[in-house]
Amino acid sequence: MKPILVRGQPLAQGALPAVCIPLVGKTAPALLSEARAAAAKQPHLVEWRVDFFEGIADASAVAGLAQELRTAAGVPLLFTRRSRREGGEAIALDEPQVADLYRVVCERQVADLVDVEMESPLVAPMVAAAGQHGVPTVLSFHDFQRTPPLQELLARFRQAKDLGADVGKLAVMPRSKADVLVLLQATLQASETLDIPVAGMAMGPLGAVSRVCGGVFGSALTFAVGQAASAPGQIPIDELRAALAVLRSAG
């Protein structure tokens, strides 16, 4: 597994993935409460799903709150706007406005990583803006309907690399146990052939196992529930940590 680096340092040590808690509050007080609760759980990083935030239209306020959340959580912050087409909330911003929001967040150095969807029409300038300010980019793709075939998943991981990702991330919905195996195989092959860290996860109840064992197959990142989930199949962090400890001791 290639670790995810922030300021040249790996988020997690050893062979297990970094554990991320999502923050999904709609208001600043709710988010700060989530961040303080996350700090007590000691994840490797937190993800602010800003599409849940009711004040998303004020870029300056978002940047200020991002800094507060990072301080409250005490760990690196991944800044993410998830679009409706990939499972996110409806927001009152168009894509150029989203790109401008990311530019402000990166300019002010208030996020340690940013997540940009590969399917965004403005993916190139958003990646460039992050790179200009030294903020690593997670290039992501989510399919809430199905698990694409192996070659399509591998092509998505390569697309992330080709677009300039520091981390490539795929999340898919399995309809069978075999789909989970396809996701894990794609993650393993991508981790062995690409020179960037990758993260692969299957969602929903069938995919929950991938959130536990994904690191064994090269996934550098997994998501766990602090107070609220951001995607189906996420496991409470205490339970996830216990399962990862079993894998660590067995390995």
Q: Do β-strands 235-236 and 18-23 pair in parallel, antiparallel, or remain unpaired?
A: unpaired
Q: Is residue 4 part of a domain?
A: no
Q: Is residue 5 part of a domain?
A: no
- Asked if 158 and 187 count as a contact pair (C-beta separation under 8 A), the reply is no
Six-digit token string for 27: 């208001």
Residues 219, 19: Cα–Cα separation, whole Å: 11
- Confidence grade of residue 204 (pLDDT, cut at 50, 70, 90): very high
Percent pLDDT > 90 in the chain is 90
Q: Is residue 7 part of a domain?
A: no
Q: Check whether 229 has a pLDDT greater than 70.
A: no
Tokens 């002010």 -> residue: 108
Q: Is residue 140 part of a domain?
A: yes
Residues 232, 203: Cα–Cα separation, whole Å: 6
- Confidence grade of residue 91 (pLDDT, cut at 50, 70, 90): very high
The total of structural domains in the chain comes to 1
CATH number for the domain harbouring residue 85: 3.20.20.70
Q: Is residue 187 part of a domain?
A: yes
Tokens 């967040």 -> residue: 105
Q: Which residues are catalytic?
A: 142, 169
Q: Is residue 149 part of a domain?
A: yes
Six-digit token string for 151: 């070659």
- Residue 249's pLDDT is 83
Of 1 and 186, which is predicted with more confidence?
Answer: 186
Q: Is 82 annotated as a binding residue?
A: yes
Q: Is 119 annotated as a binding residue?
A: no
Residue range of the domain that includes 27: 13-250
Q: Is residue 3 part of a domain?
A: no
- Confidence grade of residue 26 (pLDDT, cut at 50, 70, 90): very high
Q: Is 48 annotated as a binding residue?
A: yes
Q: Is 108 annotated as a binding residue?
A: no
- Confidence grade of residue 234 (pLDDT, cut at 50, 70, 90): confident
